[in-house]
Chains A and B, each alone.
Chain A
Amino acid sequence: MSEPGEIIVAVRDAWKAYDGGRVPVLQGASLEVRAGEIVALWGASGSGKSTLLHLIGGLDISERGELRVCGFDPRLESDRLELRRRHLGFVFQLHNLIADLTVAENLRVPALAVGQPAAKTTARLQLLAEQVGIAHRLDHRIQDLSGGERQRVAICRALMNAPRLLLADEPTGSLDEVTGELIFSLLKELAVSYGLAVVLATHERRFAEACHRRLRVRDGKVFDS
């Protein structure tokens, strides 16, 4: 659990380009997120929202800049692994669940990574599944679930190892309006109840406005808006 007001994410002057520098994406992006804050990363398609989330989550490495996430440096491999395992959860636009596994099996994947005892996992899994409203579908295959249900499972999976930070990349992007709304509320609700910091990339104004704070990504930089 984080201390109130603790800085969970600190990015200072991050630079990232692709294709050997031909595609500059981030050019001195800086931002800070504190415990319990729900922050929207808002910007046009291609502005670099996903890239920024990937840098924070240690899925990709910045060329320059300082990053501190939950006290770790996501530029270091050892820190990255620890971050992903115990400190942050990812939710993507696509659910990214393993289709041939059941809901419960998918939810056990993060616990498997850290070698957590099965009994402890089961308890956590039951609790979270109740909270996101998929407890009755635990034994179903992912392919039998609707888009909204899948995204609930994905959120559930992201929370399995009790992270302090949730990185959500357009989690409502492939859902219809009503379902998107439901998923967004669920995310927010869970974040508040667990005291999570959330960084949510979206290009939908209504979701951005419903967050505690909006950060605009433009021209490779991050602005308050």
Chain B
Amino acid sequence: MQFLSLILVNLRRHRLRALIGVAGIGFGVAAMLTILGIVNGAIGMFERILATDSHYLVLEKNVSDLFFSAVRDQDSAAIRALPNVATAQPLLFGIVSSPGFPVITCFGVAADDSRLERAEWIAGGRAEFGRHPGEIFLGSRAAEFLHAHLGDDVPIGATTLRVAGILKTENGFEDGGVFLPLAAAQDFFHRAGVCSVLAVKLRDRSAGDAFKRAVEAAHPGLIALENREFNQSYHSFRVMKMTAWAVGLCAFFLGGLGVANTMLLSVFSRIREIAVLRVCGFSELQVAALIFGEAVSVALAGLALGFALGAAVLATLPHIPLFQGYVQANVGLAVVAGIIVTAIVTAVCGAIYPARFASRIQPAEALRYE
């Protein structure tokens, strides 16, 4: 028999109680996995929108969110004219609404935008893009949830636009969003002469630093960030990630209380047994290790349950129409590792008081205890 079997025997003895502890951690794990998966997935999708066919993003300095960034058309043109610039695609972000769908992401893009080129056109064609006023182009998921077909009139904000094309892209944000020709978007969002961000592809990527310096020198109000640099510094991503971790940690806190409760009951119900272990030569530390071991076992079982549960939820969510295809879960190794560490730390913290209590049981007194 190993130390471990001594730990497991007690969990087996009170299966229901152990299960409650496991469920506590399991729900924490599942909540964290789901939230982080969704947030990271969303961030990933957003990153890929920006990174489409580009190396650098040019945006307004010191804006809290890309939606508020303004890069003037003449600056865009000047940057496009730089010798090292292969392409510079303007992108104007906006939010539009349609009855029943208050938040639909809208992309204002130029007709030669590579997104349009890469997309699979389900109806209509790229050639029509920007040719006629009053037209809108829908991502395929957006077309689905708006129940719109080619030639339909769809209410967008205060006006009605005609569907001139439906395009399928692999990116959930784009596919669940709508596209307007840049000029129409500038008009619609009252942002004449600006875009939110300019996505720049260089001819010689190794000369990126020079490009960055050139842009920032010539246009003091703008900043050029490499994609990776942008992702790390973008405030909104950070807020989203922090929120996700915070919500997840709260879920864990409850799980930790569950473990504390389970472990306390476990200790109280076998005071005599612990006294006997002490009589048999167990040190205070060994008794504490037993309790911590039990808590960690609960955490491990909770992790297994939580990952299974979370994976099931994440696999189901994309099929729910309400999410408009925005859910493309992305669970990286760092998230998995973070969740595992959090679960174990939570369980260990929950076991501190019970372990202290257990290791301080006085054998003589406890043996008189019936």
Contact = CB atoms under 8 A, between A and B. Distances in A.
Contact of B3 (A57, A59, A84, A112): A112
B88 to A, nearest CB: 69
Nearest to B13: A100
Contacts of A104: 1
Contact of B364 (A59, A97, A98, A157): A59
Contacts of A157: 280
A215 B349 CA distance: 50
B13 A59 contact: no
Nearest to A55: B364
Contact of B279 (A59, A98, A108, A112): A59
Contact of B367 (A86, A96, A101, A110): A96
Nearest to B282: A113
Given A84-B280, A85-B281, A96-B272, A101 B364 contact: no
A73 interface: no
A202 interface: no
Contacts of B277: 109, 113
Interface residues of A, number: 26
A161 B281 contact: yes
A174 B346 CA distance: 44
Nearest to B277: A109
A44 interface: no
A109 B280 contact: yes
Given A85-B281, A100-B12, A113-B277, 8 more contacts: A59-B364, A81-B283, A101-B5, A101-B9, A105-B9, A109-B1, A110-B280, A161-B281
A51 B12 CA distance: 35
Nearest to A108: B1
Contacts of B364: 51, 54, 59-60
Contact of B281 (A92, A97, A110): A110
Contacts of A57: 279
A59 B362 CA distance: 7
A57 B275 CA distance: 13
Interface string B273-292: 10011111111001000000
A60 B1 CA distance: 29
Contacts of B217: none
Interface string A99-120: 0110011001110111000000
Interface string A27-58: 00000000000000000000000010010010
Nearest to B10: A100
A207 interface: no
Interface in B244-292: 272-273, 276-283, 286
A71 B279 CA distance: 18
Nearest to A60: B364
Contacts of A15: none
Contacts of B6: 101, 109, 112
B134 interface: no
B363 interface: yes
Contacts of A86: 281
Contact of B5 (A90, A97, A105, A110): A105
Given A96-B272, A112-B3, A59 B367 contact: yes
Contact of A113 (B13, B280, B365): B280
Interface in B326-370: 362-365, 367
A59 B279 CA distance: 7
Contacts of A105: 1, 5, 9
14 contacts: A54-B363, A81-B283, A84-B279, A92-B367, A100-B13, A104-B1, A109-B6, A112-B2, A112-B6, A113-B280, A113-B282, A113-B286, A157-B280, A161-B281
B189 to A, nearest CB: 69
A57 B278 CA distance: 11
Leading 5 A-B pairs by shortest Cβ distance:
A113-B281, A85-B281, A60-B364, A59-B364, A59-B363
